[in-house]
């Protein structure tokens, strides 16, 4: 795709990351992917977690993958070869399964091991408007590949007592990657998920988040919603499984917010570095 000036439009690449387990990363990755697809964006969802939840939750059977993100990281396949279209969800899936757990060890001895995903995406990014990367719950070599490939990080978080403390390690890692490996990288925003406004503590933590991070906190909040939790057992994101559910509507709203944020993002590493250092 080209813009009016004839330049090739490149995908905006976002990691969904938080080293804490079970905070809603995968739910965010698949529902944002489905929400973006719904509003006409071309989306690739990359599953970087050997659990393969984002793969299964997009209607792709992780046990039947001919090629996966593992083969891409080991340069045995291109993204074009390994990604599959999820018909029901309307986006492409570069899937993962348990095989990916071995990649961490195998990558250790290889050159440019943290930039394998970035190199692969460079070949494919003209084909998509958005690439979303679902990271595992740790700051390992797989997550590092995600962070090195991305323009920005989306951090889903629950508004609980230790939420801010837990962010420190992630923010430090992102700063280090920004300084040493990927000058494009910035935190795009913190997404409040599983939010229940009736719980006073959640309101308080939400207010604290806004005090600390200002407009880095997304306007959209994702409510706790049982339809979002039920959808994975049908192999679908909530947005596809039950579009009228409150949680699904919130994710479509979030997709719209992301389109606006992506349009506002600077396009060169240099201008992004400037932005990050002034933040
Ligand atoms: P992991 O660290 O293991 O990869 P994760 O951060 O990807 O976990 P999810 O798998 O997305 O987290 O979510 C954890 C659980 O919470 C799942 O059972 C999911 O269905 C449920 N869940 C996520 N978001 C919501 C929500 N907004 N409302 C209700 N349940 C939710
Ligand atoms: Mg997950």
- Ligand nearest to the CA of residue 226, numbered in listed order: 1
Per-residue pLDDT of the chain in tens (279 residues, 90 and over written 9)? 455 555 456 899 999 999 999 999 999 999 999 999 999 999 999 999 999 999 999 999 999 999 999 999 999 999 999 999 999 999 999 999 999 999 988 998 888 999 999 999 999 989 999 999 999 999 899 999 999 999 999 999 999 988 788 888 899 999 999 999 999 999 999 999 999 989 999 999 999 999 989 999 999 999 999 999 999 999 999 999 999 999 999 999 999 999 999 998 876 544 444 444 444
Phi, psi of 172 (to 5 degrees): -65, -40
Check residue 165 and give its pLDDT.
82
Phi, psi of 20 (to 5 degrees): -75, 140
**Residue 113 placed within a domain:** yes
User: Which residue's CA is the nearest one to ligand 1's atom 19?
Assistant: 229
Please tell me the distance from the alpha carbon of residue 231 to that of residue 277, in angstroms, as a whole number. Answer: 40
- Ligand nearest to the CA of residue 138, numbered in listed order: 1
What is the number of structural domains in the chain?
1
CB 144 within 8 A of CB 150: no
Check residue 265 and give its pLDDT.
84
The number of the ligand 1 atom at minimal distance from the alpha carbon of 194 is 27
Domain residue limits at 202: 12-265
Check residue 162 and give its pLDDT.
82
**Residue 248 maps to which CATH number?**
3.40.50.300
Among 17, 21, 27, 45, residue to substitute to test ligand 1 (most atoms within 8 Å of Cβ): 27
**Residue 274 placed within a domain:** no
**Residue 1 placed within a domain:** no
């Amino acid at each position: 795709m080209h813009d009016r000036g004839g330049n090739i439009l490149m995908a905006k690449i976002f990691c969904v990351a938080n080293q804490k387990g079970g905070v809603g990363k995968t739910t965010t990755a698949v529902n944002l992917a489905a929400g973006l697809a719904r509003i006409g964006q071309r989306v690739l969802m990359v599953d970087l977690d050997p659990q393969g939840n984002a793969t299964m939750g997009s209607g792709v059977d992780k046990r039947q993958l001919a090629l996966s993100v593992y083969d891409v990281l080991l340069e045995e396949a291109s993204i074009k070869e390994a990604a599959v279209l999820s018909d029901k969800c309307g986006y492409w899936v570069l899937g993962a399964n348990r095989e990916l757990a071995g990649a961490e060890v195998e990558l250790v001895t290889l050159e440019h091991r943290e930039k394998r995903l970035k190199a692969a995406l460079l070949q494919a990014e003209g084909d998509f408007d958005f690439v979303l990367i679902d990271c595992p719950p740790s700051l390992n070599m797989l997550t590092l590949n995600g962070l090195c490939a991305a323009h920005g990080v989306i951090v889903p978080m629950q508004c609980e007592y230790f939420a801010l403390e837990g962010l420190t390690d992630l923010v430090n890692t992102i700063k280090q990657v920004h300084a040493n490996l990927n000058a494009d990288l910035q935190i795009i925003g913190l997404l409040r998920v599983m939010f229940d406004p009736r719980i006073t503590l959640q309101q308080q933590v939400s207010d604290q988040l806004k005090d600390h991070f200002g407009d880095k906190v997304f306007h959209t909040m994702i409510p706790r919603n049982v339809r979002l939790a039920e959808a994975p057992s049908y192999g679908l994101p909530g947005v596809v499984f039950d579009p009228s559910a409150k949680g699904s509507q919130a994710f479509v709203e979030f997709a719209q917010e992301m389109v606006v944020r992506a349009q506002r993002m600077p396009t060169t590493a240099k201008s992004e570095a400037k932005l990050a250092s002034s933040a």
